[in-house]
Amino acid sequence: MYVIGTAGHVDHGKSTLVKALTGIDPDRFPEEKAREMTIDLGFAWMTLPSGREVSIVDVPGHERFIKNMLAGVGAIDLALLIVAADESVMPQTREHIAILDILQITRGLVVVTKTDLVDDEMVELVKAEVEDTLQGTSFEGCPMVGVSAYTGDGLDELRTTMDSILDETDARQDLGRPRLPIDRCFTISGFGTVVTGTLIDGTLTVGQEIELAGSGQRARIRGLQSHKTKVDATNPGVRLAVNLSGLSKDEVERGEILTIPGWLKPTRRIDARLRMVKNAPNPLKHNQGVTFHLFTSETSARVRLLDADRLTAGQEGWVQLLLNEPLPVVKGDFFVIRSSQDTLGGGQIVDPHPRRRYRRFDDVVVERLMTLDQGTGGDIIISVAEQWGPCDLTTLSQRTNLSREEVKERVAGLTGEGHLVSLGDFGGDSDAVVYSAQGWDILKSKVASALQLYHTQYPLRHGAPAQEIRSRLDLSQPVYQRALARLVEEQVVVDERQSLRLPDHEITLTTKMEEEASAYLKSLQKDPYSPPSDQKVSSELLGVLIDQGKVVRVTDGIIFDASAYREMTERIVQHLKDQGTITVAEARTMFDTSRKYVLPLLEHMDQQQITRRTGDERVLR
């Protein structure tokens, strides 16, 4: 199914033409009917000669309602540019053409209305003027049809021409991410909240949970209608009325995006390619404030020019838009910017979630944006992975605006060519992620640098705590585990379970350290069952002696020489085998020592699961 939108100057007969074609009056408000002037979006539908059913969005033509016009034309497949034969091209004709051109609506049809009011020669003159006006726009060379909504002349030709154009129009691609920009919200007695809009991607089904991407509120689809006919499910490219349960009318506004939960997040910063309209009255300056329009949404914004000091009429440039209110947008969406009175330009979003504000006139930034804008699917995936790695399948699909299946296919090829490093398999692994080759090299460098720094700071430690390295890398636990396995495989690190080290790291004691260690061990061996607790040794050196198995720390203050510890535990175990139990007093007598040493020793043996306490006694486990 396709959506057709009208465009053109006020009082050129847009609504009258829609009613003549469909039998439906698109003007909904009494004020519109009384003034005979459309002030908001109107909707109708019809069946073309081929049997194809189409939706029609009728927009207001008056300059005061241009934002309502913008809310209606963002999701149309074919535009009917309406020009009255008795007035020809007028100011809003030109502005609407500029808007349609910016939005890259390439399927157009000029309808010269009110032909019953002029002669044939005048109709041809109007067509010639329109043809000149369309030069250099996406509508250049489009078909033209003259009609009279009052007499019916030309209406059949118009229907046939619309049919033939749609024959050559591709249906909207289904990327599996439904988006319905809401243009109306109202309440129907007995049904509750109803929203309407054009489904521009994905499918919706009755009973499905949905989310309003802007506010994050969730609801469930109670019912679906297209052209007042109930449906259970629907494909992209249709006008829909969606009955929601769980939300009141006051909780929904025009401009919201209805979608499925969990993937579409609002943003305040957007990278884009912007083009000024040909008749822009003033140049666009760096940091200038504008009004930003995308589908049915509108907010104020500030434009940062990245490769120019200003943009004049017809010029293009790279920009970063700073939105006053966060909006949910997707790579590839088209937008329009306006001043308080005029349409200035617009363009296409190339990155809906850039990481930061860039330095201006940076060739690296411009090159990346050009890749995102003009590169192949593979180029774009690599660029996204470089900026956002590690990327999972959902992130890559969203930020490249490619289907999940295409992403899987391209990632497999790019991994085989060495452009990407895959941690897991997108085919059946929900935790799989990819790095760009450059991103993976950077990660390896970070890990090696972090470990080298740790070894320099703590030369006597066996390795750095594994979780400390994970924290420095800012990776989730699943991604970290996958990355660590790959780092070990590539011999970047050695995994010692709780710690990591570089492959060439060895603990080497200086002569002074050797002397200090020897003196400490002798002090422990002098009275092995009651070793001095006031004999100080550096914590780093003590750690080495523990790792080497030369001493055993049973508590922070009690440390035994390793041979003494083995002898004491062996004698206690033998006593338990012979006698069955042992008390603290018996162990104290056995070694002619004090409770200060025996109690920590027995508790340590409990912890090592050699013994088990039962009341005041210990038994073998």
Compute the distance between CA of residue 49 and CA of residue 53 in angstroms, rounded to an integer.
9
Which of 508, 539, 556 is the last residue before a domain boundary?
Answer: 508
Average pLDDT over residues 94-121: 92
What are the residues whose beta carbons fall under 8 Å from the beta carbon of 463, sequence distance 6 or more? Answer: 451, 454, 494, 496, 499, 500, 501, 505
Q: Judge if 35 and 129 occupy the same domain.
A: yes
Distance from the first to the final alpha carbon of the chain: 76
pLDDT at 69: 67
Average pLDDT over residues 432-458: 90
Q: Are residues 292 and 243 in the same domain?
A: no
- Report how far residue 327's alpha carbon sits from residue 149's, in angstroms, rounded to the nearest whole number: 40
Say if residue 533 is in the same domain as residue 411: no
The burial of 229, by beta-carbon neighbours within 10 Å (0-12 exposed, 13-18 middle, 19 or more buried), is given as exposed
Any idea what the CATH number is for the domain that residue 88 is in?
3.40.50.300
List of residues 6+ apart from 585 with CB closer than 8 A: none
Average pLDDT rounded to a whole number, residues 259-285: 92
Helix (H) or strand (E) holding 243: strand 239-245
Pick from 378, 373, 381, 327: nearest CA to 349: 373
* pLDDT score for 32: 46
pLDDT surpasses 70 at 40: no
Across the range 49-73, mean pLDDT stands at 76
pLDDT over 80 (residue 369): yes
Separation between Cα atoms, residue 437 and residue 418, nearest integer Å: 7
Tell me the per-residue pLDDT of 240-263, one tens digit each, with 9 for 90 and over.
Answer: 999 999 898 889 988 999 999 988
Q: Is the pLDDT of residue 148 over 80?
A: yes
How many domains is the chain built from? 5
For residue 520, is pLDDT > 50?
yes
Model pTM? 0.73
Residue 12 and residue 155 in one domain = yes
Q: Do residue 532 and residue 500 come from a single domain?
A: no
In a domain, 30, yes or no: yes
Q: pLDDT of 534-593, one tens digit each?
A: 767 777 787 778 787 888 888 888 889 889 999 999 999 999 999 999 998 998 999 999
> What burial letters (b/e) apply to 40-54, b meaning 16+ CB within 10 Å?
bbbbbbbebeeeeeb
- Whether the per-residue pLDDT at 29 is higher than 70: the answer is no
Structure tokens at 85: 């034969």
Q: List the domain range (segments joined by +) for residue 465.
A: 378-508
Q: Which of 72-76, 373-377, 473-477 has the highest mean pLDDT?
A: 473-477
**pLDDT confidence band for 194 (50 / 70 / 90):** very high
CATH code, domain carrying 303: 2.40.30.10
Q: Would residue 174 count as lying in a domain?
A: no
What average pLDDT score do residues 147-172 get? 92
